[in-house]
Chain A
Amino acid sequence: MIIIGENIHVIAKAVSTAIREKDSSVIGDLAKAQTEAGANYVDLNVGPMKKDPEENMRWLVNTVQEATDLPLSIDTMNPVAMEAGLKACKKRPLLNSASGKTDSKAQMLPLAKKYNCNVVISVMTDRGMPPDVDSKIESIMDTVTYANDLGIANEDIWVDPIILPVSTAGEGQRFTVANLEFIKILEDVLPGVKSTVGLSNVSNGVPSELRPLLNAVYLVMLAKNGLYSAIADPLDKDLMRLIKGESPKEVELIHKTMDGGDVDFSTISRKQVEYVKTAKVLMGETLYSDAWLES
């Protein structure tokens, strides 16, 4: 599993302040910490970057490259900032992200070709978010075909099915189940493409102390179905242990749960029970509530 470290993110106040004030120590420390924790890429999520996009992005990329040798994921919807970022990268970057929207096809996908980089392409189109597995597949096939015509190979495309919060009233679990299914069949419909997800969104809106559990278990489940990479928090030790194969017993329990096997709670630890209960929620077997561990 390729982990794209999510911690340099403008929504974090410290990060937005550091970019504005060109404080290289804050940014450098975040890059180093993620590298040491085992991330494979560092994501630079700068949002729309309306002010001085070229200069700011160049500074950010150079600052991060002084702190780490990892390749970067340039994460902005501003094509000017995107190009400045890709241009400044020493290693082959990841363009994060393009989609099937008209603007994105016209502006982002040509950049992926021009800079010969890997590119995240989401299932989003001008019609918005496709509601189910079939329509997600249909949308992504159209956009990938478009990218292929521009000369971008399947091997350079990382498909993003868009993760939505499991806690969304009544509907969230339908989304988590659909994305598990999507990842499972992706290789069959688009051989050679890779995949990625914005993992943490699955736990958006959930009490904060419970979020890491949902993130970690969902990542194990997606990995079982063939997920290639995830934008996630590499500083989450539990998640990294699970995904790097250091907790094989726990991973096995989650897999067994996905396969419909019965798990005897009296023989496993409290933490393991939590993993099983969480897997059952994410696969749609138990109805979600914020108290899912308590029943």
Chain B
Amino acid sequence: MTRAGSLDGIRVIDLTQGLCGPFCTMQLGDAGAEVIKIEPPAGDFARRMGPPFVGDESAVFLSLNRNKKSVVLDLETSLGRQATALLACDADVIVEDLGPGAAEKLGLGYAQLHGANNKLVCCSITPFGENGPLRDRPGSELVVQAMAEYTASLGRIGDPPIRVGADIASLNTGIFAAQAILAALFDRLRTGEGQRVAVSEFGSLLHLRGIMWHSMSDPDDWYGFHLDHYTKPPDSGYQAKNGPLYFILRRGSNEDWDRLVMELGMEEVLADRRFADYGRAATSIGRYATEVKPIWEKAFRNRTREEIIDLVKSVGGDAVPIMDYPSLLVHPQVAALEAISEIDHPTAGRFKTVRPVARFSETPDSIRLAPPMLGQHTEEILRAAGLGSL
């Protein structure tokens, strides 16, 4: 018997599709909530994202929908809308990404649902925020990254834009949505009342770039890693004989520094002011790191990255290999953290995914349900709600 998660007994009605909302509700499910994923007859559009597919299931969909039950209800029919409203009467949370005002038009707005269930927490997720001229615009992962200037920290000036490879606009917003819902649930424990909460993808990414906005508020000098990355070339780490690595020097002593320099045959840098202070400004985010990189790479040319990593660590620095997924996933640290879970799916078979991140000593997150097949739980849920005849 597993111990109850922190949201044990909480029921979530999930009207979202794609990446952002589903990532949010998956985390609520991981925390122990019962998540009822209401899908249109054609299913969440993430079911069609890909290839790759595992069996008939989209790999992307599988990674975002564990711990949920799928109920097909067509919100374009009054029957579907009424059934959804009825489920919301009995629920603790409803999450929707239908667009500003759209839930109200379907009779599923906060004011309408709150009348029947004043404990309900209602979370709205939009691409750009609920006010302003772009409030009704549809968004996408890249569109939000582009508008929040994330691509300005990648690639070369004048070259075609490059996106952040991970789906950050969607997934980071999913985290903020989960926070907002949790905060409102906590508030409900004290006040007895639910409330409406809202997040946006644009707002989330602009929040996460906040150090930048501070940096541009009249800095003492236009220098520092939150400013000069606009103009720096792409950084792919330091190339060693058998692959790239990344390193930082920071806790050095005189002896350590001398030994590092001598072992690498870099004695000429001892007179180079850019390598002053044990090379601190000559690596990583240091002021001279970009311009002195070729000096390091020359010294690394005939050494394996494992040798260099050991050497850097022996002088009190930090060093890691730059890894791709195959090397990451066989790394003993990933195994030690049990970062990957396996889930059995009725048609896709056993598949791997990243486990819930936080480990709670008393109310642990858990994986209890495989991602649902479309409509897998329609009958079960509707029958239990007294809607068996639908």
A complexed with B:
no
A: residues with CB less than 8 A from B are none
